[in-house]
């Protein structure tokens, strides 16, 4: 339409110009003539005819050269038109693929995305979405193939491709591959929030608490998690590391780890109990007896009370005296009274032990109290009373088991 308008417009302009030239020159008595000679050849015509011929010739040449230009541009225009058609189709395919993925039509989405990826203005999105679709239908080989094609098509998109790859590996519990990819991305950009967040998730799912411990400063500096989340994560990491070190490490390793733990975590009941229990199990009671006593003086906790009773003190009588200082503040704590009875037996004061254990059972009967009382009575030769204590302890233990089963069912 545009070309037709150019043609008609130029034709109209040529006709108007010829008409005006004819009117202007025709008004003279002698309009003149034009003589053109070349060698033995000559041509003579009136000025009016020459001017009109000149105008029409210019028009013809103008049209000719425009047509010639259009012919020269035609292959390029056809090529661009084909590219435009392919691009529009690829955009439609991308939308269709995303919709199919959202609806769970994985195989259909995969096919339409890959078919038009090469003509798309964003082939990376085609391949990454196709990789997700392939994994969703269990085609892990295809997933890896599409991720490789994405890297070939978009060599400058290492982080985007790597994040998708790591995310897909994590969802398949392929922790080793995911962490290898994320570690590489972290070396490229140590401040990238998404990389740090996925690294945190990968370490947590893989149970690599040492990795999380080293990552926590970066998570905090770059505001990847909120402060409350950082503290919870730090607490969990150090708790897990304490348990792992307690099960596999030495006293020196546990003490080294404990020295690195922030004070606000060390003062938590559950965390300190892990440390004290580990040191007691490794025979290092003497190193933590004072710290355990100070912890109980600050914060009363029955788990720590039991641990204090398990400490193999170098001075048992002093251990009992220290414990009895808390009695006025906790006179009806059955667990504490049982521990006092246990410590009294260690000191050889059986009469005091019976008094503490009897009071403990009267306040709240417990299996440990019946067990210790039964052992004490049996050692004293009172087998009937000892058997009665064992019997009551067994009945109490079985009732506790039945209650747990009922609560589960």
* pLDDT score, position 307: 94
Average pLDDT over residues 350-362: 93
* pLDDT score, position 247: 79
What are the tens digits of pLDDT across the range 234-245?
Answer: 999 999 998 888
Number of Cβ atoms within 10 Å of the Cβ of 213? 19
Say which residue, 86 or 178, is predicted with more confidence. Answer: 178
Q: Name the token pair of 209.
A: 């608490």
Domain positions in the chain are 319-409
Say which residue, 24 or 291, is predicted with more confidence. Answer: 291
* Rg of the chain (C-alpha set): 46
* pLDDT for residue 395 is more than 80: yes
Number of Cβ atoms within 10 Å of the Cβ of 150? 25
DSSP state of 32: -
Average pLDDT over residues 252-274: 88
Give CA 383 to chain center in angstroms. Answer: 63
Average pLDDT over residues 322-334: 93
Ramachandran class of 223: left when φ > 0, alpha when ψ lies in -120 to 50, beta otherwise: left
What is the tally of helices (H) and strands (E) in the chain?
20, 2
Pairing type for strands 41-46 and 33-38 reads: antiparallel
* pLDDT score, position 225: 87
User: Considering only CA atoms, which of 102, 153, 101, 96 is closest in space to residue 124?
Assistant: 153
Q: How many CA atoms lie within 13 A of 399 on its CB side?
A: 9
What are the tens digits of pLDDT across the range 199-231?
Answer: 999 999 998 999 999 999 999 888 888 888 999
Find out if CATH 1.10.3720.10 is the number for domain 319-409. Answer: no
> Is the separation of the CB atoms in 285 and 297 below 8 Å?
no
pTM (two decimals)? 0.64
Say which residue, 308 or 156, is predicted with more confidence. Answer: 308
Say which residue, 247 or 86, is predicted with more confidence. Answer: 247
* pLDDT for residue 232 is more than 60: yes
Q: Name the token pair of 381.
A: 């030769």
Average pLDDT over residues 272-292: 90
Can you tell me the distance from the alpha carbon of 49 to that of 37, in angstroms, rounded to the nearest whole number?
17
Can you tell me the distance from the alpha carbon of 301 to that of 100, in angstroms, rounded to the nearest whole number?
57
Average pLDDT over residues 372-388: 90
pLDDT confidence band for 159 (50 / 70 / 90): confident
Mean pLDDT in the chain? 81
Share of the chain above pLDDT 90, in %: 33
User: Considering only CA atoms, which of 190, 208, 271, 279 is closest in space to residue 235?
Assistant: 271
* pLDDT score, position 358: 93
Q: Name the token pair of 272.
A: 């300190």
* pLDDT for residue 16 is more than 80: no
* pLDDT score, position 82: 46
What are the tens digits of pLDDT across the range 130-144?
Answer: 888 888 888 888 888
Share of the chain above pLDDT 70, in %: 75
Name residue, tokens 């193939």: 145
Can you tell me the distance from the alpha carbon of 176 to that of 202, in angstroms, rounded to the nearest whole number?
9
> Is the separation of the CB atoms in 386 and 377 below 8 Å?
yes
Q: What angle do CA 12, 13, 19 make, to 5 degrees?
A: 90
Strands (E), 10-79: 33-38, 41-46
* pLDDT score, position 94: 61
What are the tens digits of pLDDT across the range 56-114?
Answer: 667 677 777 777 776 677 565 566 554 554 555 655 666 666 666 666 777 777 777 77
* pLDDT score, position 408: 59
User: Which range is least confidently modeled, 41-55, 86-100, 155-169, 385-399?
Assistant: 86-100
């Amino acid at each position: 339409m545009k070309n037709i308008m150019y043609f008609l417009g130029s034709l109209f302009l040529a006709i108007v110009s010829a008409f005006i030239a004819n009117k202007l020159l025709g008004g003279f008595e002698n309009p003149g003539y034009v003589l053109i000679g070349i060698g033995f050849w000559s041509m003579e015509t009136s000025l009016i005819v020459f001017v009109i011929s000149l105008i029409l010739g210019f028009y013809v040449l103008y049209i000719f050269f425009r047509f010639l230009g259009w012919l020269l541009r035609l292959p390029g225009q056809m090529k661009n038109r084909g590219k435009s058609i392919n691009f529009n189709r690829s955009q439609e395919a991308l939308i269709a693929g995303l919709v199919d993925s959202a609806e769970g039509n994985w195989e259909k989405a995969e096919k339409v995305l890959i078919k038009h990826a090469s003509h798309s203005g964003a082939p990376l999105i085609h391949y990454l979405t196709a990789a997700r679709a392939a994994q969703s239908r269990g085609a892990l080989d295809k997933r890896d193939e599409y991720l490789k094609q994405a890297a070939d098509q978009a060599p400058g998109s290492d982080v985007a491709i790597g994040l998708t790859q790591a995310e897909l590996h994590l969802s398949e519990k392929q922790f080793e591959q995911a962490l290898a990819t994320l570690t590489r991305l972290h070396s490229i950009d140590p401040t990238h929030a998404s990389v740090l967040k996925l690294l945190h998730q990968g370490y947590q799912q893989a149970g690599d608490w040492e990795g999380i411990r080293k990552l926590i400063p970066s998570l905090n500096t770059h505001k990847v998690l909120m402060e409350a989340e950082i503290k919870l994560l730090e607490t969990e990491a150090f708790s897990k590391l304490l348990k792992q070190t307690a099960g596999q490490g030495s006293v020196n390793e546990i003490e080294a780890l404990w020295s690195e733990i922030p004070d606000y975590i060390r003062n938590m009941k559950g965390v300190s109990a892990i440390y004290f229990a580990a040191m007691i199990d490794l025979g290092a009671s003497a190193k933590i007896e004072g710290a355990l006593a100070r912890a109980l003086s600050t914060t009363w906790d029955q788990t720590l009370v039991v641990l204090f009773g398990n400490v193999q003190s170098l001075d048992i009588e002093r251990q009992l005296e220290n414990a009895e200082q808390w009695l006025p503040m906790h006179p009806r704590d059955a667990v504490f009274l049982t521990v006092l009875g246990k410590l009294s037996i260690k000191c050889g004061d059986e009469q005091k032990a019976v008094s503490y254990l009897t009071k403990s059972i009267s306040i709240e009967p417990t299996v440990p109290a019946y067990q210790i009382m039964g052992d004490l009575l049996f050692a004293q030769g009172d087998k009937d009373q000892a058997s009665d204590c064992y019997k009551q302890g067994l009945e109490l233990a079985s009732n506790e088991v039945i209650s747990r089963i009922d609560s589960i069912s």
